[in-house]
A and B are shown apart, each in its own frame.
Chain A
Amino acid sequence: MTTTVDYKRIAIDGFWDNNPALVQLLGMCPMLAVTSTAVNGLGLGLATTLTLVLSNGLVSLIRNIVRPEVRIPTFVLIIASVVTVIELLMNAYVHELYTILGIFVPLIVTNCSIIGRAEAFASKHALLPSLVDGLTMGLGFTAVLFTLGMLREFVGQGTVFSQFHLLFGEAVRGWSTTVLTHYEGFLVAVLPPGAFFGLGLLIALKNLVDARRARRAHRRAARAGAPAAA
Chain B
Amino acid sequence: MQFHTFSSPHVHNGNSVPAVMRDVLLAVSPGAALMVYFFGWGVFFNLLISSVTAVAAEALVVKLRGREVGPVLADHSALVTAVLLALALPPLVPWWVPFLGALFAIVLAKHLYGGLGYNPFNPAMVGFVMLLIAFPKQMTLWTPPAGLDQQRLDFTETAACIFTHRLPEGLDYDAVTLATPLDKVKTDLGTGRTLREILTAPTFGTLAGVGWEWANLAYLLGGLWLIHRRRIAWQIPAGMLGSLFLVSLVFYGYDSDNYASPLFHLLSGAAMLGAFFIATDPVTAATTPRGRLWYGAGIGLIVYVIRTWGGYPDGVAFGVLLMNMAAPTLDHYTQPRVYGARR
Contacts and interface: CB of A to CB of B under 8 A. Distances in A.
Interface of A: 184, 186-189, 191, 193, 197, 204
Contacts of B134: 186-189
A186 B101 CA distance: 12
Contacts of B136: 187
A197 B137 CA distance: 23
B108 interface: yes
B108 A187 contact: no
A184 B136 CA distance: 11
Interface of B: 108, 112, 130, 133-137
A193 B104 CA distance: 13
A158 B134 CA distance: 14
B133 A191 contact: yes
A188 to B, nearest CB: 4
A186 B108 CA distance: 16
| Most chain A beta carbons < 10 A, residue from B133, B134, B136 | B134
Nearest to B108: A197
A184 B94 CA distance: 12
B312 to A, nearest CB: 15
Contacts of B135: 184, 187
Contacts of B108: 197
B194 to A, nearest CB: 35
Contacts of A189: 134
Contacts of A184: 135, 137
Contacts of B130: 188, 193
B120 to A, nearest CB: 14
Nearest to A194: B134
A191 B135 CA distance: 12
16 contacts: A184-B135, A184-B137, A186-B134, A187-B133, A187-B134, A187-B135, A187-B136, A188-B130, A188-B133, A188-B134, A189-B134, A191-B133, A193-B130, A193-B133, A197-B108, A204-B112
A184 B112 CA distance: 27
A188 B129 CA distance: 10
Given A187-B135, A193-B130, 6 more contacts: A184-B135, A187-B136, A188-B133, A189-B134, A191-B133, A193-B133
A197 B133 CA distance: 14
A34 B181 CA distance: 39
A188 B134 CA distance: 5
B332 to A, nearest CB: 26
B57 to A, nearest CB: 16
A183 to B, nearest CB: 11
| Most chain B beta carbons < 10 A, residue from A187, A188, A193, A197 | A188
Contacts of B133: 187-188, 191, 193
Nearest to A188: B134
Contacts of B137: 184
Contacts of A187: 133-136
A131 B12 CA distance: 67
A189 B104 CA distance: 13
A155 to B, nearest CB: 10
A184 to B, nearest CB: 7
Contacts of A186: 134
Nearest to A187: B134
Nearest to B136: A187
A189 B108 CA distance: 14
> Which 4 interchain pairs have the tightest Cβ spacing?
A188-B134, A187-B134, A188-B133, A186-B134
A188 B127 CA distance: 12
A92 B152 CA distance: 61
Contacts of A193: 130, 133
Contacts of A204: 112
Contacts of A188: 130, 133-134
A189 B112 CA distance: 18
A23 B110 CA distance: 24
A197 B129 CA distance: 14
A53 B18 CA distance: 59
A204 to B, nearest CB: 8
